[in-house]
């Protein structure tokens, strides 16, 4: 048995991904390492499958593997059929037990779209989501993904990814000003072939079982308590509490090392973070990033939201236009608390965290609708 914290990568997984990628086997894998997931054991009966380092172009949400007596419960399912297939292989490297349930923490596609591969491996697995998350999946994701394998979708998706990577290469990567940013864009561009190879077979599968406030997946050894604590990153975020392991799976309520705060619910998110903090966990698993073993990151995240509210709300109510807010506010201390002097992480702190949070706080201050349009 591996001690907690040891990270493993399946050799067969690496070879399989290389065979699928367009470029030469080992070379494609080496270039795409930032995109691939690895398995980390965080308690005797809980593993986390996560991308090996912070990744922002081709994000894949963490998948948590929880061992019950009769089978395995997964929390989240990856971003595509290909990433789901690698999840299947990593899960099988951890346990021979079948997957009996897959819990979807929220509606974002990078936590949902690997279900096609997971259910192909374990067709009896039950797919579970909070009722608002299930409604959002059913309303939003069919605009982006087919309900069955589709050659036309695959062609268009591959074409759009190729175009996006070409734009990155000519734009952000070419214009990077620091070594950290250049290295970050090189790593992101290196995942191109693997991401293209992951597209075939991707299609949307909906949750079959829903709940409103809480649901327990019983087990004599490792019961799993699913809880909706309030709006946060989305309107249907779920946490999974494993009391026997003292592990809390937070989904995108918590994202590390820099937060994802796009179209969030600022006041509700502060309240939800406070509720998360009261759960007696020893390990908290974020929706992206490395598991945390204290509450320091939670406190840092809550402090960021409070600071942005304190500066932005008075300006919004005074009629300052949204596009003038960044020039009239200062968040240098908050940026440094998350990323230090790392220019690459700083870029994404602004792009995925601070700037969208400012917009949500501004809209909330004026009583405008929150969340995605």
Please give the helix or strand (H or E) that residue 276 lies within, else none.
Answer: helix 266-278
How many alpha carbons lie under 13 Å from residue 176 in its C-beta half-sphere?
20
**The pLDDT value given to residue 206:** 98
Sign of CA dihedral 144, 146, 149, 151: negative
The answer for residues whose C-beta is within 8 angstroms of residue 140's C-beta and 6 or more apart is 107, 372
Residues 104, 129 contacting (CB under 8 angstroms): yes
**The pLDDT value given to residue 57:** 81
Q: What gap in Å lies between CA 265 and CA 360, rounded to an integer?
A: 7
Residues 174, 129 contacting (CB under 8 angstroms): no
Please report how the helices 296-317 and 266-278 are oriented relative to each other, as an axis angle in degrees rounded to 10.
160
Compute how many other C-beta atoms are within 10 angstroms of the C-beta atom of residue 89.
16
Q: What gap in Å lies between CA 150 and CA 145, rounded to an integer?
A: 9
Tokens of 291: 């598991």
319-327 LR contacts (CB < 8 Å, sep 24+) = 322/358, 322/359, 322/362, 325/358, 325/362, 326/355, 326/358
What's the CATH superfamily of 7-147+202-294? Ribonuclease Z/Hydroxyacylglutathione hydrolase-like (3.60.15.10)
**The pLDDT value given to residue 2:** 37
Quickly tell me which residue has 């270039």 as its tokens: 31
Please report how the helices 11-20 and 81-94 are oriented relative to each other, as an axis angle in degrees rounded to 10.
160
**The pLDDT value given to residue 34:** 80
pLDDT tens, residue order, the chain (373 aa): 333 543 333 333 433 443 444 444 456 556 677 889 999 999 999 999 999 888 888 899 999 999 999 999 999 999 999 999 999 999 999 999 999 999 999 999 999 999 999 999 999 999 999 999 999 999 999 999 999 999 999 999 999 999 999 999 999 999 999 999 999 999 899 999 999 999 999 999 999 999 999 999 999 999 999 999 999 999 999 999 999 999 999 999 999 999 999 999 999 999 999 999 999 999 999 999 999 999 999 999 999 999 999 999 999 999 999 999 999 999 999 999 999 999 999 999 999 999 999 999 999 999 999 999 8
* Residue 125: DSSP 8-state: P
Please give the helix or strand (H or E) that residue 301 lies within, else none.
Answer: helix 296-317
Q: List the one residue out of 41, 10, 59, 28 whose CA is nearest residue 192.
A: 28
Q: What gap in Å lies between CA 5 and CA 305, rounded to an integer?
A: 30
**The pLDDT value given to residue 152:** 98
The answer for residues whose C-beta is within 8 angstroms of residue 163's C-beta and 6 or more apart is none
Q: What gap in Å lies between CA 259 and CA 122, rounded to an integer?
A: 33
φ, ψ for residue 181, nearest 5 deg: -70, -40
Q: What gap in Å lies between CA 348 and CA 342, rounded to an integer?
A: 10
């Amino acid at each position: 048995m591996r001690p907690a914290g040891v990270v493993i990568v399946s050799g067969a997984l690496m070879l399989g991904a290389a065979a699928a990628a367009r470029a030469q086997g080992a070379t494609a894998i080496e270039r795409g390492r930032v995109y691939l997931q690895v398995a980390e054991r965080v308690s005797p009966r809980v593993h986390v499958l996560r991308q090996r380092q912070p990744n922002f172009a081709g994000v894949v949400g963490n998948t948590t593997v929880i061992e019950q007596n009769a089978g395995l419960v997964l929390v989240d399912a990856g971003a595509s059929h290909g990433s789901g297939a690698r999840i299947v292989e990593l899960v099988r490297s951890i346990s021979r037990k079948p997957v009996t349930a897959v819990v979807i923490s929220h509606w974002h596609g990078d936590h949902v779209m690997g279900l096609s591969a997971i259910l192909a491996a374990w067709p009896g697995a039950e797919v579970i989501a909070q009722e608002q998350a299930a409604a959002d999946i059913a309303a939003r994701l069919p605009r982006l993904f087919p309900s069955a394998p589709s050659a036309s979708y695959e062609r268009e998706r591959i074409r759009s990814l190729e175009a996006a990577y070409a734009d990155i290469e000519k734009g952000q990567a070419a214009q990077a000003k620091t070594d950290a940013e250049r290295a970050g864009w090189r790593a992101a561009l290196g995942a191109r072939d693997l991401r293209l190879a992951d597209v075939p077979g991707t299609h949307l599968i909906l949750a079959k079982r829903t709940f409103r406030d809480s649901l327990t997946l019983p087990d004599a050894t490792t019961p799993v308590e699913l809880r909706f604590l309030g709006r946060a990153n989305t309107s249907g975020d779920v946490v999974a509490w494993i009391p026997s392991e003292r592990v809390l799976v937070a989904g995108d309520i918590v994202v590390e090392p820099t937060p994802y705060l796009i179209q969030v619910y600022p006041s509700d998110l502060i309240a939800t973070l406070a509720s998360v903090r009261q759960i007696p966990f020893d390990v908290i698993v974020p929706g992206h990033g490395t598991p945390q073993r204290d509450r320091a990151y939670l406190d840092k995240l809550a402090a960021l939201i409070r600071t942005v509210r304190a500066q932005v709300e008075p300006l919004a109510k005074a009629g300052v236009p949204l596009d003038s807010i960044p020039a009239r506010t200062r968040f240098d201390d908050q940026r440094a608390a998350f990323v230090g002097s790392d220019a690459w992480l700083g870029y994404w702190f602004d792009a995925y965290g601070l700037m969208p949070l400012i917009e949500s706080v501004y809209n909330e201050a004026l009583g405008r609708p929150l969340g995605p349009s």
